[in-house]
C-alpha cells in the first residue's frame, strides 16, 4: 500500500512540471531522464528481478525502433499501432533469444556475452539491408499531432513517458506481489533451490525476457517519434545497452523505484560530466565505466540501497566475481 501511495505521489509531483517549468532545456532533460528510466525499468525486470544481466538490451530497443519506423515509412502504419507492434516484435525477439540462451543454461557472464553478441548481429544486419535504410538510417516524417504520437511541444512527450513509467512502476509492483515475481526472484537467488520447490526456471526466465524485451521495444518506438531518426548505431549500438543496465544498477537492482532514481541520478551526472569535460565523444562512456566500477565496489544495492539491507545485491558481485575467475 505504501508503494502504491509512493507511485501516486511520484505521478502527481511530476504531472504539472511542464506547466511550471518554461525552460525547454529542462523539459527536454526531464523527458530524456524519463525515457531512460523507462528503458531501465525494462532491463530491471530481467536483470534486477531475474538476475539475468543483459549487456545487449539495445537488441530489443533497436528492434522496437526499427519496427515502428519501417512500418510507418514503408507501410504507412499509424505510430500508435507501430508502438504496439514494436512491443510485440521486440517481445518475440526476446522470447527467441531467451529460448536459445536459457535452453542451454547459459548464466552470468555467458548470458551477458550472448546478449551483447545478438545486439551486434542485429546492428550488422540493420547496416546491410535496404529496408532498414542500411548505414544511412531512417528519417521518420514529421507529422505533428497526437494521432501520430508526435507532439507540438516537448511537454507531450514528457507526459507520454510519464504515463509509461508510471504504468511500468505499477506493473513492477504487481509483479513483486505475484506468483511470477516470487518465482523470478527465487530463480535469481538460487536456481537449484527454486527447481527443488517446483519452479521451472526456463519458462520463468523466458517470460521475464519476453516482457523485458517488449517494454524495451516500446521504448524504441517512443524514441523514434521523439528524435524522428534511427540508424544502426543508435538502435543496436552498445551505448543504449549500457544506459539500460547502468540506470537500474545505479538506482537499485530489483527495486520498484530503482530505475527511476538511477535515471535521474545518471543524467544529472552525465550533464555535469559534459560541463566539465566538454563534448568529447565517448568520454561519457568512460565516465559511465568508472561509475559502474564504483557502484559495484561500494554500493551494490544502488542509491536505493543506501542505509538499507541488501536485496538482490549478491547477484551483481557474483556476476563480476565469476567473470574475473572465468
Partner 1 sequence: MLEIVQLSKRFGGLVVTNDVSFTVQSGSISALIGPNGAGKTTIFAQISGFHQPDGGDIRFEGQSIIGLTPERICLRGIARTFQIVQPFAGLNVRENIAVGAHLHRAGRRAALEHAESIAHRVGLGAQLDKPAAALTVAGRKRLELAKALSTDPKLLLLDEVMAGLNPAEIDEIIPIIRGIRQSGVTILLIEHVMRAVMNLSDHTWVLNNGRLIASGTPAQIATDPQVIEAYLGHGAAARMQAQRTGVHHA
Q: Which is nearer to partner 1, 106 or 283 (CB)?
A: 106
Least distance from partner 1 to the Cβ atom of residue 87, Å = 25
Least distance from partner 1 to the Cβ atom of residue 157, Å = 35
Least distance from partner 1 to the Cβ atom of residue 202, Å = 9
Interface contacts to partner 1, rule CB under 8 A? 177-179, 182-183, 185-186, 188-190, 192-201, 254, 309-315
Q: Which is nearer to partner 1, 6 or 182 (CB)?
A: 182
Look at phi and psi of residue 122 and say left if phi exceeds 0, alpha if psi is from -120 to 50, else beta.
alpha
Residue 197 dihedral angles phi and psi, to the nearest 5°: -100, 20
Q: Which is nearer to partner 1, 195 or 283 (CB)?
A: 195
Least distance from partner 1 to the Cβ atom of residue 179, Å = 5
Q: Which is nearer to partner 1, 210 or 313 (CB)?
A: 313
Q: Which is nearer to partner 1, 192 or 279 (CB)?
A: 192
Least distance from partner 1 to the Cβ atom of residue 194, Å = 7
Least distance from partner 1 to the Cβ atom of residue 304, Å = 14
Q: Which is nearer to partner 1, 29 or 173 (CB)?
A: 173
Least distance from partner 1 to the Cβ atom of residue 108, Å = 16
Q: Which is nearer to partner 1, 99 or 311 (CB)?
A: 311
Amino acid at each position: 500500500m505504501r508503494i502504491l501511495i509512493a507511485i501516486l505521489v511520484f505521478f502527481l509531483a511530476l504531472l504539472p512540471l511542464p506547466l511550471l517549468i518554461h525552460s525547454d532545456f529542462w523539459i527536454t532533460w526531464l523527458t530524456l531522464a524519463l525515457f531512460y528510466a523507462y528503458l531501465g525499468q525494462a532491463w530491471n525486470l530481467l536483470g534486477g528481478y531475474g538476475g539475468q544481466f543483459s549487456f545487449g538490451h539495445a537488441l530489443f530497443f533497436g528492434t522496437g525502433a526499427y519496427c515502428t519506423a519501417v512500418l510507418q515509412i514503408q507501410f504507412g502504419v499509424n505510430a500508435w499501432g507501430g508502438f504496439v507492434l514494436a512491443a510485440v516484435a521486440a517481445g518475440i525477439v526476446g522470447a527467441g533469444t531467451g529460448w536459445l540462451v536459457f535452453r542451454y543454461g547459459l548464466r552470468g557472464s555467458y548470458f551477458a556475452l550472448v546478449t551483447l553478441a545478438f545486439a551486434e548481429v542485429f546492428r550488422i544486419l540493420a547496416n546491410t539491408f535496404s529496408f532498414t535504410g542500411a548505414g544511412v538510417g531512417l528519417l521518420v516524417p514529421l507529422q505533428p499531432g497526437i494521432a501520430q504520437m508526435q507532439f507540438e511541444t516537448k511537454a507531450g512527450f514528457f507526459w507520454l513517458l510519464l504515463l509509461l513509467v508510471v504504468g511500468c512502476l505499477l506493473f513492477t509492483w504487481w509483479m513483486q506481489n505475484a506468483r511470477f515475481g516470487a518465482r523470478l526472484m527465487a530463480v535469481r537467488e538460487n536456481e537449484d533451490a527454486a527447481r527443488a520447490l517446483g519452479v521451472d526456471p526456463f519458462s520463468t526466465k523466458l517470460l521475464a525476457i519476453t516482457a523485458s524485451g517488449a517494454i524495451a521495444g516500446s521504448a524504441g518506438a517512443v524514441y523514434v517519434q521523439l528524435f524522428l531518426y534511427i540508424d544502426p548505431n543508435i538502435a543496436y549500438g552498445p551505448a543504449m545497452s549500457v544506459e539500460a543496465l547502468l540506470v537500474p544498477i545505479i538506482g537499485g537492482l530489483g527495486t520498484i523505484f530503482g530505475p527511476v532514481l538511477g535515471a535521474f541520478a545518471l543524467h544529472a551526472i552525465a550533464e555535469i560530466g559534459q560541463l566539465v569535460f566538454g563534448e568529447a565523444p565517448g568520454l561519457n562512456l568512460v565516465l559511465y565505466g568508472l561509475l559502474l566500477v564504483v557502484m559495484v565496489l561500494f554500493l551494490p544495492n544502488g542509491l536505493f540501497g543506501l542505509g538499507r539491507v541488501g536485496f538482490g545485491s549478491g547477484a551483481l558481485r557474483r556476476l563480476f566475481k565469476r567473470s574475473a575467475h572465468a
